[in-house]
Chains A and B, each alone.
Chain A
Amino acid sequence: MSVTLRGRRRRDGRLGARNHVLVLPSVVCANQTATLIGSEPGAVAVVHQHGCGQVGDDVAHTERAFLGSATNPNVGAVVVVSLGCETIQGRRLARLIERGGQRVAFVGIQQLGGTFKTVDHGRLAVGRLRAELEADGLVEAGLEELVLGIAADGATRAVRELAEAARIAGASVVLAVPEGARGDWEGAPVIGYGQAAAAGISVVEQAGEGTEQHLALAGAGAQVIVSLRGPGRAPQGFATGPVLAVAGDPGIYAALEDDFDLDGSSAGAEDVWRRVISVFNGEQTASEKRGARDFVLHRIARTM
């Protein structure tokens, strides 16, 4: 094993590139309470717009997205913030997260009696979990422990070259592309949404489009995501992991230079791959520096 990665050794044996405490509302109605809890040092609160009024397979799909983000190795502990009457029940979600091997605390607004009491309980939980996750020691490891996620619009040359460079170096690569472009990856195994990436190159099912894909990749265990979007697309990050944003054309790179990491018209696969390693080992991406907390759920049915 050649040592090139430094990260947190999680209880389930995986390696984390970051050490976040995620504050996760199980429903949009808990967003503000989660945000107030997330102001506690060392916590990252996400907000989203779902968790209620959902039907059919869409419920399970959203639950898998929550679960995947909560059990990604970049996250060392989770506080689930529930309202109480939502479709995606927070308590059940917390149990699933715990069963997934993660440290988890649960706070419920209706159960605890309102915003302020829930915020108090949630902040205490963050402090407690923060101390606990120090047990996940910093270790050195080989590239075979890296899961690289690539978010893309299709099977472009840049995507293929980066995936190949990572694979040859020994990393696992998981790709998220719109459902219609999944067929471009002949021979690559398809993994279900929320399933762990396979060795080599695999493609995740129902990953959605654009920034939605970041959640699909986190759910497959990716510690670093590279966003290789087409021309003109704006750069976005992910709440609990680094996203290397590569501009799809020189025009959009020049216009939004501060929010991109690389210009795809001048950076080749080897340049991106080198950055992936240094980002894994602690270098902050543009989205991390600016504090982007993007967390976009892919829906497969309309809201009721």
Chain B
Amino acid sequence: MEQLTGYPRPDGRWGVRNHVLVLPLHSAANLAAERSAEGLAGAASVGHQWEGIEGDPDQERIASTLAGFAANPNCFATVLIGIRREDTAIAKAAVRRGGRIHLVAMADHRGTAGTVAAVRPLLERLLAEASLTQRRPMPISGLVLGLECGGSDALSGITANPALGVASDLLVAAGGTSILAETPELIGAEHLLAARAATPEVGRRVLEVITGFESAIRDLGVDVRGAQPTPGNQAGGLTTIEEKSLGAAKKGGDAPVAGVLGFAQPPERPGLQIMDTPGHDIEQMVGMVAGGANLAAFTTGRGTPTGSAITPVLKIATNTAIYRRLEGDIDLNAGAILDGEESLESMGRLIYRRLLEVAAGELTSSERRGNREFAISRTVSPMTAFSG
């Protein structure tokens, strides 16, 4: 294994990519962000649906998501496009979280066309600067790995998830950080995770977060089983959320739980972390990336092509059939365990090695295809929602 390399950031974190990101702060800036980044190699943009309407009860959570995403260490720099120049709160928060931030206000440029004309030369300058920075030898402790499963099937908990757990344990043992998330998919496994907590306080938080999510859903008056397992999970052989959870939690291996994080919150110490996120694949990924994940591993039984605009996502099939069927959308096949070609241990080591190769610069399937799904996570629906 060659020496791991990456991009050191001024605040001590490490990037494994060197993107220049364009991020709208308001959905009215989506088009300007997209047009600004279009055709510029190394520039990435995402869009979202948040309008920052006054009185939004999720304002703080969403601002933190956008600030954290902008400050992810895989970004050499980030250009935020807002509406007014006075709206600086998110830009300031992103700077506090270690981002190199430029803020452009559409109101200073009469709208979309003028904004694009102003942002493109700025991007070109930042991209030129970014191209001059070189990869340096990087310690494993600089890796923050987001763990995810999506489109799970009955094999997820038998092949890909436990193999990823082996890889996560290897990373944690080497001083790195792993993030286990998808709170609804931990329902039913909370006692096992709490028992692995590094401190009683962490154990208490594990139970609090998972049971809290469950009761928030109960308060809505809906059955969690309406969404979990999803229709695809059920077709894939998963019958209950408990069954799905016991399989999902295996991504976190056997390491002690070192910390519990709020949505988009950065880890304070290395080791295995649990982040409180929805099970929605894209909201979860955005939460982990906003929390500083510079690398991600995503197991899938039904097969999904999704990725992230700034963090490389290594996708792992739970079965050989789906790996072959979605040719080229999935990076690794943990179905090899069932086929008798690999053991859980050897598959776990293989995943770990591929993760380090991806960190060192090898592109993943979703990077090659340009996947850049993005979604804003809410805890409540907008204020008028429950009146009907």
- A59–B227 Cα gap in the complex (Å)? 9
Category for how many chain B residues contact A: 35 or more
- A252–B28 Cα gap in the complex (Å)? 13
Q: Which of B177-212 contact A (CB under 8 A)?
A: 184
- A189–B112 Cα gap in the complex (Å)? 38
Q: B221 contacts A296, CB within 8 Å?
A: no
- B361 adjacent to chain A (CB < 8 Å): no
Q: Which residues of B contact A259 (CB under 8 A)?
A: 28, 106, 110-112
Q: Which residues of B contact A301 (CB under 8 A)?
A: 220, 222, 381, 385
- B137 adjacent to chain A (CB < 8 Å): no
Cβ 8 A contact of B370, one of A28, A32, A113: A32
- A54 adjacent to chain B (CB < 8 Å): yes
- A13–B150 Cα gap in the complex (Å)? 43
Q: B303 contacts A205, CB within 8 Å?
A: no
Q: A52 contacts B28, CB within 8 Å?
A: no
Q: Which residues of A contact B369 (CB under 8 A)?
A: 32, 115
Q: B151 contacts A292, CB within 8 Å?
A: no
- A52–B184 Cα gap in the complex (Å)? 13
Segment of B69-77, B230-238, B254-262, B265-273 engaged in the interface with chain A? B230-238
Q: A299 contacts B382, CB within 8 Å?
A: yes
Q: A178 contacts B384, CB within 8 Å?
A: yes
- A290 adjacent to chain B (CB < 8 Å): yes
Q: Which residues of B contact A86 (CB under 8 A)?
A: 230-232
Q: A211 contacts B302, CB within 8 Å?
A: no
Closest to A53 in B: B280
Q: B220 contacts A206, CB within 8 Å?
A: no
Q: Which residues of B contact A31 (CB under 8 A)?
A: 373
Q: B110 contacts A257, CB within 8 Å?
A: yes
If A235-B28, A304-B184 touch, does A29 touch B49 (CB 8 Å cutoff)?
Answer: no
Closest to A255 in B: B107
Q: Which of B335-388 contact A (CB under 8 A)?
A: 369-382, 384-388
- A208–B240 Cα gap in the complex (Å)? 33
Q: Which residues of B contact A49 (CB under 8 A)?
A: 48-49, 282-283, 374-376
Closest to B277 in A: A303
In the complex, how many residues of chain A place their beta carbon closer than 8 angstroms to a beta carbon of chain B?
A: 62
Number of A-B contacts (CB under 8 A): 218
Segment of B8-16, B140-148, B157-165, B324-332 engaged in the interface with chain A? B324-332
Q: Which of A116-138 contact B (CB under 8 A)?
A: 116
Closest to A230 in B: B54
Q: A109 contacts B326, CB within 8 Å?
A: yes
Q: Which residues of A contact B373 (CB under 8 A)?
A: 28-29, 31-32
Query: Can you list, as one digit per residue, whether each of A259-296 has a CB less than 8 Å from chain B (1) or not (0)?
Result: 11000000000000000000000000010001111101
Of B28, B307, B329, chain A has the most CB atoms within 10 Å of the CB of: B28
Q: B374 contacts A304, CB within 8 Å?
A: no
Q: Which residues of A contact B372 (CB under 8 A)?
A: 32
- A184 adjacent to chain B (CB < 8 Å): no
- A96 adjacent to chain B (CB < 8 Å): no
- A292–B216 Cα gap in the complex (Å)? 36
- B114 adjacent to chain A (CB < 8 Å): yes
- B39 adjacent to chain A (CB < 8 Å): no
- A252–B106 Cα gap in the complex (Å)? 11
- A229–B120 Cα gap in the complex (Å)? 30
- A195 adjacent to chain B (CB < 8 Å): no
Q: B115 to chain A: closest CB distance in Å?
A: 9
- B31 adjacent to chain A (CB < 8 Å): yes
Q: A208 contacts B384, CB within 8 Å?
A: yes
Closest to A259 in B: B111
Cβ 8 A contact of A55, one of B226, B327, B382: B226
- B136 adjacent to chain A (CB < 8 Å): no
Closest to A260 in B: B111
Q: B338 to chain A: closest CB distance in Å?
A: 19
Query: Can you list, as one digit per residue, whether each of B56-93 has a CB less than 8 Å from chain A (1) or not (0)?
Result: 00000000000000000000000000011000000000
Q: A255 contacts B84, CB within 8 Å?
A: yes
Q: B27 contacts A296, CB within 8 Å?
A: yes
Q: B217 contacts A304, CB within 8 Å?
A: yes
Q: B230 contacts A258, CB within 8 Å?
A: no
Q: Which residues of A contact B311 (CB under 8 A)?
A: none
- A291–B49 Cα gap in the complex (Å)? 16
Q: Which residues of B contact A48 (CB under 8 A)?
A: 49
Q: List 21 A-B contacts (CB under 8 A).
A: A29-B282, A29-B304, A49-B374, A53-B227, A56-B222, A85-B151, A85-B232, A85-B235, A86-B230, A87-B230, A109-B305, A113-B325, A210-B53, A211-B51, A256-B107, A293-B31, A299-B381, A299-B385, A302-B216, A302-B380, A303-B279
List 6 tightest A-B contacts by C-beta distance, closest first: A85-B232, A258-B111, A255-B107, A49-B375, A179-B384, A259-B111
